[in-house]
Amino acid sequence: MFIYFLSSLLAQATDPIGKITPPGNLPILFDPGDPTKLTGLISLINTLLRVTFIVAGLWAFLNIILAGFGFLSAGGDDKKIAKSWAQMWQSLIGLLFIVSSFIIAAIIGIVLFNDPSAILVPKIVITPTP
């Protein structure tokens, strides 16, 4: 029902939502010298996501190394071995979540924007208005 309503709404006009022109006192989201370079909030979010993924990957790598060290130094103790295996699996599952988030973002980018990097590396495309 909702999909039918949405498709009929989109079929009625080429621009059903309309255009929003920001007032002059709002900060701009792109560099006036290079309109394709992002600045402001979009750039901040993009940078924070990249740093988060790097820190998460390094944390998982460190956990795998520490779990391996714990496994080697367990000395046959079943509890320490089980704890090390659990730490390794949890780190590997965390890495799997990180990689799958990139894959999901690429799939959504392909489906919505026909560009796999549309969400991960957003670009501003300025089209001239007639």
The pTM score is 0.59
| Per-residue pLDDT reduced to its tens digit, 75-129 | 888 999 999 999 999 999 999 998 898 889 889 988 988 888 887 777 766 666 6
- What sign does the CA torsion over 102, 48, 54, 82 have? negative
| Per-residue pLDDT reduced to its tens digit, 14-71 | 554 555 454 454 455 555 566 556 666 767 777 788 888 889 999 999 999 999 999 9
For residue 127, the one-letter residue type is: T
Candidate from 7-11, 70-74, 112-116 with smallest mean pLDDT:
7-11
Interior/surface letters 95-129, b for 16+ CB within 10 angstroms, e for the rest:
beeeeeeeeebbeebeeeeeebebbbeeeeeeeee
What is d(CA 68, CA 65) in angstroms, rounded to the nearest whole number?
5
For the chain, report the end-to-end CA distance as a whole number of angstroms. 36
